[in-house]
Amino acid sequence: MYKDSATFIHQNSHDPTVLDKTLKREIKLARNIQLQLLNGKTPVFEGGEVSGSSIPARLIGGDYFDFYPLVNGKIRIVVGDVMGKGIPAAMLMILTRGAFRSAAETTKSPADTLKSMNQALYDDLRTLKSFVTLICADWDPKTYELTYANAGHTLPLYIKGKEKVVEELPRVKGIMVGGLPNQVYHNQTVHLDKQDIIFFYTDGIIEAQNNSSEQYKLHRLIAALLENKQNSVSEIEKNILASIEDFTEGAPQRDDITMVLLKIGEQEAEISSLNSPVMK
């Protein structure tokens, strides 16, 4: 009979040291899976750049972001936050990712994607007494239009490249995925200009706490974004994380932190069927 390490562990299942080691190894493997799925390929396209990053509060987490290049040259972006933290949230995050990938392929707009995801996930999320907040957006490099729909998520910030202004994107209502069945979501569209930035994020950023239990809050995030708006998306990302780390002074991270940036370039996009977004 074939025996592997798992067989050995099963036979020693009463030994707490062996169990502890097994658990640690499996959580580490789960973390690797999640990090690889989250930090996969990023779309490269003319006329702008996108980037995303996620740092779980524990070894694994429930935040989620993804990019999906559409055949019409648009890029579909999603950012989500599964209720809770740790392993249970991470399992539901994987479920959410599957639902997004499947819905993005077959739906025409962000609102349709969220509707399809809610239909796919509602029963499971209710059974598990959980929910996911999601924001989904399509960036069209040809028309400079960002169309988005919201399922209970914090609205992204809009940093105007030519002005010293940061504001929330116009509000669009929609309840979290897993809250009620048969939900209809609505699209909202904004026209972006060169150098504009859209900052999608989860609340772990503004609720990050220092050792005096003060929160990072929106005003510090806005200040950090204004200070960095001339930088590339990866530099902005790095500097925002550094700003949060400076503020929290090594206090334990309470919630998962996720951000996705879309920055419109200086150059006009010359989109043809040959230079649609590619994943790199």
Partner 1 sequence: MLTIEKEVQNVTAILKIKGLIDITTTNIIDLYMEDIGNVETVLIDFSSLEFIDSTGIGSIMNAIYLSKEKNFKLKLQGIDEITNEVFETVGLYDILEAFDGEVI
| Shortest distance (Å) from residue 204 CB to partner 1 | 10
Are 258 and 96 in contact by the 8 Å Cβ rule? The answer is no
E strand or H helix at 49: strand 48-55
Question: Per-residue x/- mask for partner 1, residues 206 to 235, rule CB under 8 A?
Answer: -x----------------------------
Q: Cβ-count burial of 213 within 10 angstroms (0-12 exposed, 13-18 middle, 19+ buried)?
A: exposed
Footprint of partner 1 on residues 242-261 (CB under 8 A)? Answer: 255
Which residue among 61, 73, 110, 152 contacts partner 1 (CB under 8 A)? 152
Footprint of partner 1 on residues 23-42 (CB under 8 A)? Answer: none
Regarding 153 and contact with partner 1 (CB under 8 A), the answer is yes
**Which residue's CB is nearer to partner 1, number 88 or number 161?**
88
β-partners of residue 267 are none
Give the strand pairing for 75-82 and 132-140.
Answer: antiparallel
The full DSSP string for 181-205 is SS-----EEEE--TT-EEEEE-TTT
Regarding 156 and contact with partner 1 (CB under 8 A), the answer is no
In whole angstroms, what is the distance from residue 64 CA to residue 87 CA? 14
Which residue among 33, 37, 180, 278 contacts partner 1 (CB under 8 A)? 180
Segment interacting with partner 1, rule: CB under 8 A, options 15-23, 92-100, 104-112, 176-184: 176-184
Under DSSP, the state recorded for 108 is: S
Record the tokens describing residue 66, joined without a space: 């993804």
Which residue among 91, 94, 119, 179 contacts partner 1 (CB under 8 A)? 179
Record the tokens describing residue 194, joined without a space: 């060169």
**Residue 52, phi then psi, degrees to nearest 5:** -145, 150
**Which residue's CB is nearer to partner 1, number 47 or number 84?**
84
How many residues in the shown chain lie near partner 1 by CB under 8 A? Answer: 24
| Shortest distance (Å) from residue 251 CB to partner 1 | 15
In whole angstroms, what is the distance from residue 95 CA to residue 102 CA? 11
E strand or H helix at 120: helix 110-127
Question: Per-residue x/- mask for partner 1, residues 114 to 133, rule CB under 8 A?
Answer: ------------x--xxx-x
Footprint of partner 1 on residues 73-92 (CB under 8 A)? Answer: 81-85
| Shortest distance (Å) from residue 160 CB to partner 1 | 23
In whole angstroms, what is the distance from residue 176 CA to residue 81 CA? 10
**Which residue's CB is nearer to partner 1, number 17 or number 127?**
127
Binding site for partner 1 (CB under 8 A): 81-85, 126, 129-131, 133, 151-155, 173-176, 179-180, 203, 207, 255
